[in-house]
Structure 1
Amino acid sequence: MKGRNGVGAYFQDLVAHLDHEVERAELVCPSLEDPHPCQGMSMPIPGDPTQRLFFPKMRELSALVWEMKPHVIVIPGPGIFSLGAYWIAGKLGIPVCVTFQTDYDRLVQLYWGPRLARLAGGLLNWLNRAMFRGSSAVATICDSMIADARAAGARHPQLVGTPLGAEFVNSEVTPLADEADSVLYVGRLAAEKNIEHFLALAEARPDCRFTVAGDGPLRGLVEQRQKDLPNLNFLGWCSRERVVAELDAHQVLVLPSAVEAFGTVALEALARERLVITTPVCGINQWPALARALTVAEADEPLADTLARLRAMTPEQRREQARAGREAALAMNDEAVNGWLQVLQGCARQGAFLPKPRRSPTLAVLRRLSTNQARPGL
């Protein structure tokens, strides 16, 4: 969903950048605040009622694709919207680029029991393999997922970076304070994010100020701990503008995830010239220029010890690390846009070799509608 999870934010930022590079880039994405004309009914996702599974309005989606005639359709993995777009692309002979950004096996194991997780994971992997076989390109966001994509059936997966929203790049940054005593978490309050470890850190360091921004199935746990810990503040879900303000008001961002393909919020914090603590599983650690600006927790190291290591540095050392982080984040942003342009150009070239689509009644109606030849009321 737009603005509600990492994948939604990723494509929101990517399309904003592509708007300046291509003739037209259209984001078809469900949104709670600003519903897209192509989004239809929805239902809560099992295990996380704060997220919803949306069904597309296929007539509207087909009409949009037919009107736009895109050179490439990009789909982010095996969702209902993605499957609808994949089917339409096949009918019209439009090249498809599939992105592989989530470790589905790990996620379903966290939310469901062994039997259901095995069934759901198998279904998601089967859908991925099917879409990989019919796609012109597969793109992923860290080195480890290249191997996972190959194992799932992708022939030549390509590595692309992560873009940044303009809010994190264009406004002037606030200088880092001398003391690293204000700590922020931004993200979904869910099992894969290890929010319990962040709360344990707040309890272990009463001399520091801690803030949680986000929403999810573990919201009740955060609200309860806020009552017990005077140094913990809970903001709930925040707009992107508010996230920028909170990053600027804190000195350290902590990403304590147990499953994290990349960790966009860590990149956003680096762009705001902030110190960032990550866990070893975060995909952002696999980008060398970014990793040099991160403080990565050792395996099984309590976050309190990781924070102590960061606080043991001199203020100037911390400021130098933060400046290096901003430079690396801005470079990643440029590399991500250029990398995506290369992937999309490669896909578009393949479109010339695809078979012509078969004419179907639905597409024939859309064709007549697009040329104003339809009878009144059709």
Structure 2
Amino acid sequence: MRILVVSDAWRPQVNGVVRTLDTLKGELERTGHDVVMVTPDRFRSIPCPTYPEIRLALRPGRKLAQMIESAQPCAIHIATEGPLGWAARRYCIRRGLPFTTAYHTRFPEYIQARFRVPLRMSYAVMRRFHGASSSVMVATQGIETELVRRGFGNISRWSRGVDTEMFRPRPEAKGESGPFAGLPRPIFLYVGRVAVEKNIKSFLALDLPGTKVVVGDGPQLDEMKRRHPEVHFTGAKFGEELATHYAAGDVFVFPSRTDTFGLVLLEALASGLPVAAYPVPGPNDVIGAHPVGVLDGDLRRAALGALDLDPIGCRAYALEFSWSAATRQFVDNLAPFETFPMPGRQAKRLSVA
């Protein structure tokens, strides 16, 4: 099946959405599907206010329509609610093409944190965007429950996986040749964007023994470096180097209250790191009552409590999350059509059991 995926988030951006879509593309192609990505790098774009590394496509409608018609897809998935997402939504509605969407990011909470826009206004926009979707894919039960409460419908589950070959315990990473050699232990590790919506200030303000380490880049990096000279900032890491940094830690601290899943939680667990987090959607769904993390409204108490958890158990738990299963969920949720229609005609839906 030829699947067209429209996303405003794509390389060289570094975030969970990009990594999820990149991995999904590889898994779909590995299982015989043809994937066409429609992303900002194929359009004229401008930097997003407050996020210059994120590019926003300028007036993408006509070119996007040409891309879709050239691709002749069997199914269309709109991954994000940015300029490309809205343009693809308009195109599909006008042409009578079914499409699916995904709720990757809690934009209303992000916008409130940055610009103080009331949640009800932002959620009204999100309901409109996703309302025409055949299936709104969400990663967890917690996010589904929240969206249903806010008036969303047609919700289906699309979980996440983790590369357990790359992200694995590496005992040598904690030694003298490791990335944190010479730093006082325990190492309390954060991996992710250094940005206000990640609530990183709550982690950096904690009074903890050992060393706090931040792996990542973002708009608040320079400010946080100035405010917290006692914290070890490494910048962004990728691939094997990122995996080694995970394995060199002792506890993974996840201060975000707004993530819909938190792919970094699985990467940390696969690396043998117990998790400390708030009891909010994302951590509640991934960790729950399993003895691989401590969820507490007091993040310091959670971080100290996580030191006592078994790294072997963390690794074993992460092995239950596979990308192959997550990819099958994604395909099952799609709304395929029999043939891509010529202009002026509507597509015929495939009947899938």
**If the TM-score is normalised by the length of the shorter chain, which range does it land in?**
0.7 to 0.9
Q: Is the 8 A contact 1:222 1:234 kept in 2?
A: no
Distance of aligned partners of 1:153 and 1:197 in 2 relative to their CA distance in 1, 3 Å threshold = closer
Distance of aligned partners of 1:169 and 1:92 in 2 relative to their CA distance in 1, 3 Å threshold = farther
More helix by share: 1
Q: Which residue of 1 aligns with 2:202?
A: 197
Distance of aligned partners of 1:293 and 1:42 in 2 relative to their CA distance in 1, 3 Å threshold = farther
SS of 2:133 mapped into structure 1: coil
Alpha-carbon distance in 2 for matches of 1:357, 1:152: 36
* Within-5 A mapping of 1:106-185: 106-113=109-116, 117-118=117-118, 122=121, 124-164=122-162, 166=163, 169-170=165-166, 173-175=169-171, 181-185=186-190
Q: Is the 8 A contact 1:180 1:252 kept in 2?
A: no
Q: Is the 8 A contact 2:194 2:200 kept in 1?
A: yes
Distance of aligned partners of 1:321 and 1:354 in 2 relative to their CA distance in 1, 3 Å threshold = same
Alpha-carbon distance in 1 for matches of 2:259, 2:329: 21
Alpha-carbon distance in 2 for matches of 1:335, 1:293: 23
2:70 corresponds to 1:71 = no
Equivalent position amino acid for 2:38 in 1? V
2:330 corresponds to 1:340 = yes
What TM-score results when the alignment is normalised by the length of structure 2?
A: 0.81
Distance apart, 1:270 and its partner CA: 1.7
Distance of aligned partners of 1:295 and 1:29 in 2 relative to their CA distance in 1, 3 Å threshold = same
Across the aligned residues of Structure 1 and Structure 2, the Cα RMSD in angstroms comes to: 3.0
Residue 55 of structure 1, aligned match among 55, 58, 76: 58
Distance apart, 1:150 and its partner CA: 3.0
Q: Is the 8 A contact 1:215 1:236 kept in 2?
A: yes
Cα deviation digits, residues 208-257 of structure 1 (max 9, x gap): 13221222232123211453x1xx21122333443222112223221111
Cα deviation digits, residues 312-346 of structure 1 (max 9, x gap): x2xxx523322323323xx34333122112112xx
Q: Which residue of 2 aligns with 1:323?
A: 315
Distance of aligned partners of 1:177 and 1:236 in 2 relative to their CA distance in 1, 3 Å threshold = closer
Cα deviation digits, residues 164-192 of structure 1 (max 9, x gap): 3x5x5357641496997122111111222
SS of 1:217 mapped into structure 2: coil
Q: How many residues align?
A: 326
Q: Which residue of 1 aligns with 2:6?
A: none
Distance of aligned partners of 1:291 and 1:67 in 2 relative to their CA distance in 1, 3 Å threshold = farther
Q: Is the 8 A contact 2:60 2:84 kept in 1?
A: no
What TM-score results when the alignment is normalised by the length of structure 1?
A: 0.76
Alpha-carbon distance in 2 for matches of 1:108, 1:257: 15
SS of 2:319 mapped into structure 1: helix
Distance of aligned partners of 1:258 and 1:23 in 2 relative to their CA distance in 1, 3 Å threshold = closer
Cα deviation digits, residues 258-288 of structure 1 (max 9, x gap): 2221111111112223222222124142146
Cα deviation digits, residues 96-149 of structure 1 (max 9, x gap): 101123323322221113xxx03x862x43443333332221111111221333
Alpha-carbon distance in 1 for matches of 2:126, 2:341: 23
Q: Which residue of 1 aligns with 2:303?
A: 307
Q: Which residue of 2 aligns with 1:261?
A: 260
Equivalent position amino acid for 1:307 in 2? A
Distance of aligned partners of 1:241 and 1:335 in 2 relative to their CA distance in 1, 3 Å threshold = same
Q: Percent identity?
A: 24
SS of 1:19 mapped into structure 2: helix
Q: Is the 8 A contact 2:160 2:326 kept in 1?
A: yes
SS of 2:161 mapped into structure 1: coil
Residue 209 of structure 1, aligned match among 186, 211, 216: 211
Q: Which residue of 2 aligns with 1:220?
A: 222
Cα deviation digits, residues 61-88 of structure 1 (max 9, x gap): 2232112211211112421110112223
Distance of aligned partners of 1:50 and 1:226 in 2 relative to their CA distance in 1, 3 Å threshold = farther
2:39 corresponds to 1:39 = no
Larger Rg: 1
2:233 corresponds to 1:234 = yes
Alpha-carbon distance in 2 for matches of 1:221, 1:92: 48
